[in-house]
Structure 1
Amino acid sequence: MIERHYVNLPGGQLHYRRAGEGPPVVVLHSSPMSSAAMVPWIERLAADFTVYALDTPGYGQSDPLPYGGPDPEIPDYARRVVEFADALGLDRFVLGGTHTGSKIALATAVAAPERVAQLVMDGLGLYTVEEMAEQLERYTPPTVPVWHGGHLVEAWHRMRNMWTFWPWYRQEGERRLDESMPSLADLHLMTMDMLRAGLDWGVAYRAAFRYDARAALGGLRVPALLIAKHADPLHEHLDRLRVEAPTMTVHSVGNEEHLDRLMAAFDRDLGLPDAPPSPVVEHAGGTTRRYVTTEHGVSHVRIDGDPAAPPLLLVHGSPGSADSFDALVRDLAADHLVIAPDTLGNGYSTPSRAEDPRIGDFADATGAVLEALGLAGVQAYGSHTGACISLELAVRRPDLVSSVVADGLPVLAEEERADLLENYFISMAPERHGEHLLRAWHTIRDVMLFWPWYRQDAAHVRPTGPGETEHLHRLVLEFLKSGPTYQDSYRAAFLFESQARLAAAEVPVLVCAAPDDMLRQGSEEASAGEPVTFVELDPAAGRGAAWAVRRA
């Protein structure tokens, strides 16, 4: 089983995947991917090793480098690999990488030869001055969000082109690659990795283009192997080596045998000790992310603020994750210890293990996270779906929740509920030309314009606009994180009986909503009688969600 972990390093966290038992192997992905791209390596190597697949800083779920400035170099990334090994107690390890990962691995082996027992590289770029200049200029154009979402399709087709031409922007017959197009699921995963890397997704790419691998090979002192398959655009670079590297062997291999030969290259007989257990992530302030495993699934949890401050559970709405409320979390973390899980099936949390989950299942999972973290008597804030979960948790577990702020509770008539359940959800299945990305973009945009979003007539107009394009881009990425399981928490919220559960509450409940919230009227009508009160939010006047939490 592949586990996912974070580790605290100087200046930020690094995310990694771990599997297997035995001596340690660290593997590094290509740009602009994440450790998810290394799953085929992990699955094969885990039979003989403890495998650590790192998200390069600034990619996947790892924080950017805290040093190196806006344009770090490959040795800066190599320094992070050593810091990772130090934090996990890996004195010596086998190191492997592909493309950008090969250069980071090479720089690590040159800088810390006493730590690297063996180096395995899959493709190593050795560019001419002219190639480097052209690629620095053209290979990594920034993502520029546009109001119609076309930048998402542009990213999708750029990734397709990376499997079709070398370099991707030279769309000429003689530049075709002898590669099959990845599956739609893999292409979606890689495009999401590119988009999650930020608007300037090419930081590590450009570092790789600038890195002088030939000079580095001259200083290589550890046993090493360089391999490239015929279809790899870096295969032709094997003929460019022209360097004395006596500890390195070089292999050109066919496409079909590539993975087998690559996996066989990792030395099983180095006599390295077995890897130690991964350390538990401790929160000491700032922002900490970790995973919490319970009987309900694996929850990805964000923790912010002073560990000694009063604890506050924050539960996001659907679709999205805890990061959907980044500004709110940072505000509340000034005087609270904020615990913000991604609800199951959203963000980076696994789907619920319940076959057809209801709000009670999400509440139980959230309660189990609090118990695992040793927290009780917390104040809870939730928005929309999160309001349902927070309220239900308070009803079920008043020992865990001392009070609730429910921001926008769905109160639905049966006809409205049936209409939403039938029409609200869209297909998130990847499509060949990226149509699913546009569908996601315009669904989120239409949510800002109509309620419900699919009733696009004058009677259903909302008095709101889609906001700034970059903000909408972030919301859409949060939506896309969840994939098809985003429907589970939404459906549970539509089926939730808010009024009955408000009546069952024994702890104080403050219900609130902004005037332009589509759930505002129902929220107020449902909030009659102790221990429930209602207040109207007015963010423009400083009475937003954080104000409601501090008022409660």
Structure 2
Amino acid sequence: MITRHFIDVSSGGNSRRVHYRRMGKGPPLLMVHQSPRSSKEYEELMRKWSNHFTCIAPDTPGFGQSDPLPGEPEISDFGDAVITFLDALGIAQCAAYGFHSGGIILVTAVKRHPNRITSLAVGGYAIWSAAEMQLFSDRYLPAFHPSDYGEHLTWLWNRILEQNWFFPWFAADNAHRLSLSNDDPARVDAVVRDMLDAGNAYQAGYGAVLRAPRDIPDRDAIVPPCLISAYDGDPLQEHIDRLQEMPPSWTAEKVATPGDHERVSLTHLLATQTPMTNDFPKAPDEGFLPVQTDQFDGLIHWRGEQGASRLVLHPPAKAALATPSQGHIAIDLPGHGLSDNWLDRIPDQWEAWEAVIASVAATLGTDETIYPTLPAGDPDRLYPDLSPDRFGVYLTTAWQIVRARHMFDPWYMVNHDNAVAFEEQKLLPDHLAAEHLALINGYSAKEYHTALHTR
């Protein structure tokens, strides 16, 4: 089972929170994701490699659920950040794997801290020409901020969708067509959600990677062994030919498929011995609990004060309080926020939800549960199907719902009798963006509402 954790990392007098995923047994393997993704993109690979390694995949600064770095960080700061993350976990040495920009971060880390990585595997290493760098600098990383009426969501969907068709994404011409195009809503949605989590912080992390100097360590540099590989259809495969002289322990090769890339990477990583590591420390006020009942088997996200006596439940289609009051612990219920969803069928009877809540309360030691006020309205209309669709309509539908919720009760009854007073500040885009993310993450909102009604 993949578990999820938070840890506080201190460096230069600053402390930031890092979220990471973990799975497996054996020596540690640090896995650094590409931009603008999160560690979630490695879940499938972690399952494949967990028999060989303790796979540890952090969200890099500013992505996923990890805090950004202060100021205007460069690639050296991101390279150092993965090392301070290892420090916080108590890992002296480990093997490492990174894909695309994750590989660039790790190569930087290896050059600055060669004794910390025992072996490195990279999926595609970019060596940009001056002309390519100029092309990227003009349009590749526009600012990404929420807008009043959700216009940013239309842009985001199409930007991520067409990155599957062209590279770079904005160069919509025959010269920049990709050979492995797709329009799979689930694949596009996964990247869209990572971008929504990152917000405009994506500029810092992605920008640092694009600006990074593309210099392989000198031939006589004392560095751990490294394999760089890229498969057919990867836009960085041709960059294998741009690599110049490398240290003797560094190699590069072109392979046919993503599966071949994974195979040669694993073989390379297993060729070098890495020391084992003990258990890792965790953040004291936020984490994930493994919970197993007849209908749920997954992780429940919690935040608050350990030893608190009160457990706070959120309303349907919302998420746990960002800062629970003293003496309270807030959780994301299944199919909400950062918690896992139900197994096969989302239950609409209270007994199934109560079993999860009771398990969490027993583990956390709370003795009182605070229930939310049930919203008025028909659950079928309050929570329409927001499954990802080919055209990204679910994103703008959800945005219109969170706006209307502040002005009418229920939101779908738009008339004088259902108009409600509202706080104008809550219509600001940043506030709506948080509500919007909670709504599209509320996979089980309708069933939770129905269950609460029967409680």
The CA distance in 2 between the partners of 1:47 and 1:316, in whole Å, is 38
Contact 2:379 2:449 in 1 (8 A): no
Structure 2, gaps ≥5 residues long: none
Of 21, 32, 41, the residue aligned with 1:17 is 21
> Which residue of structure 2 aligns with residue 493 of structure 1?
452
TM-score (norm 1): 0.74
Work out the CA distance in 2 between the residues paired with 1:346 and 1:201.
24
**C-alpha deviations, 1:399-442, integer Å up to 9, x for none?**
xxxxxxxxx456x7xxx6xxx14433211211111011111111
* TM-aligned CA distance change 1:243 to 1:444, over 3 Å: same
Aligned mates of 1:258, 1:137 — CA distance in 2: 35
Q: For 1:57-76, what aligned pairs fall within 5 Å after superposition?
A: 57-65=61-69, 69-76=70-77
Counterpart-to-counterpart distance in 2, 1:157 and 1:107: 32
Query: What residue in structure 2 maps to residue 290 of structure 1?
Result: 287
Alignment correspondent of 2:226: 224
Equivalent residues of 2:310, 2:366 under 8 A apart: no
Displacement of 1:103: 1.0
TM-superposed deviation, 1:489: 1.8
Mean alpha-carbon deviation: is it higher for 445-454 or for 210-219? 210-219
**CA 1:265/1:72 → structure 2, altered by over 3 Å: closer, same or farther?**
farther
Shift of 1:27: 1.0
What is the CA distance between 1:14 and its match in structure 2?
1.5
8 Å contact from structure 2 (residues 7, 283) kept in 1: no
Q: Which residue of 1 aligns with 2:429?
A: 469
SS at match of 1:52: strand
User: What is aligned with 2:54?
Assistant: 50
Structure 1 position 267, deviation (Å): 2.9
Alignment deviations for residues 22-61 of structure 1 (CA, whole Å, 9 cap, x no partner) = 2221111100000111123212212322211221111111
1:225–1:265: 8 Å Cα contact kept in structure 2?
no
Q: What is the count of residue pairs matched by the alignment?
A: 443
Q: Would you say the 8 A contact 2:231–2:261 is kept in 1?
A: no
Which residue is equivalent to 1:518?
Answer: none
1:145-544 maps to which residues of 2 (within 5 A)?
145-181=146-182, 183-214=184-215, 216=217, 219=221, 221-255=223-257, 257-279=259-281, 281-283=282-284, 288-296=285-293, 297-303=298-304, 312-322=310-320, 325-326=321-322, 329=323, 332=325, 336-352=326-342, 356-359=347-350, 361-376=352-367, 381=370, 386-387=371-372, 408=373, 420-464=378-422, 467-482=427-442, 484-496=443-455
| 2-structure distance, mates of 1:137, 1:2 | 39
| Residue number in structure 1 paired with 2:8 | 8
The amino acid across from 1:167 in the alignment is P
Further displaced range: 354-363 or 81-90 = 354-363
- C-alpha spacing 1:188/1:7, structure 2 compared with 1 (3 Å): same
Aligned to 1:88: 89
Distance in 1, matches of 2:235 and 2:374, equals: 54
What SS is found at the alignment partner of 1:489?
helix
Q: In 2, are the aligned partners of 1:30 and 1:98 still within 8 Å (CA)?
A: yes
Q: Distance in 1 between matches of 2:116 and 2:399?
A: 46
User: 1:409, 1:23 → 2: CA distance?
Assistant: 48
Instruction: Go from structure 1 to structure 2 and tell me whether the alpha carbon gap of 1:243 and 1:71 turns closer, same or farther (over 3 Å shift).
Output: farther
CA separation of 1:469 and 1:48: change in aligned 2, threshold 3 A? same
**Amino acid of the structure 2 residue aligned with 1:230:** D
| Equivalent position SS for 1:226 | strand
CA contact (8 A) 1:17 1:54 kept: yes
Unaligned ranges ≥5, structure 1? 388-407, 497-552
Match of 1:391 in 2: none
1:261 to 1:295, Cα distance in 2 relative to 1, 3 A: closer
> Paired residue for 1:499?
none
User: AA paired with 1:192?
Assistant: R
TM-score, length basis structure 2: 0.89
Deviation, 1:274, is 3.7
Between stretches 484-493 and 253-262, larger displacement belongs to 253-262
SS of 1:7's equivalent in the other structure is strand
The alignment-based identity, stated in percent, is 28
What does residue 537 of structure 1 align with?
none
| Cα contact 1:120–1:265 (8 A) shared by 2 | no
Q: Give the letter aligned to residue 90 of structure 2.
A: G
Q: 1:102-125, CA deviations, whole angstroms, 9 ceiling, x for partnerless residues?
A: 011111222222221111111112
SS of residue in 2 equivalent to 1:214: coil
The one-letter amino acid paired with 2:448 is S
Find the aligned partners of 1:355 and 1:155 in 2 and give their Cα distance.
Answer: 30
Distance of 1:263 and 1:181 partners within structure 2: 25
CA contact (8 A) 2:315 2:374 kept: no
Q: CA deviation at 1:88?
A: 2.8
Matched residue, 2:144: 143
Q: Quote the offset at 1:355 in angstroms.
A: 5.4
Q: Displacement, 1:156?
A: 1.1
Q: 1:445 to 1:95 in 2, by over 3 A?
A: same
Which protein has the larger Cα radius of gyration, Structure 1 or Structure 2? 1
Query: Separation in 2 of the partners of 1:270 and 1:107?
Result: 20
In structure 1, what is the Cα distance between the partners aligned to 2:451 and 2:217?
56
- Secondary structure at the counterpart of residue 225 of structure 1: strand
Amino acid of the residue matched to residue 34 of structure 2?
S
The 1:217–1:350 alpha-carbon spacing in structure 2 relative to 1, beyond 3 Å, is: farther
How far the C-alpha of 1:299 sits from its partner, in A, is 1.3
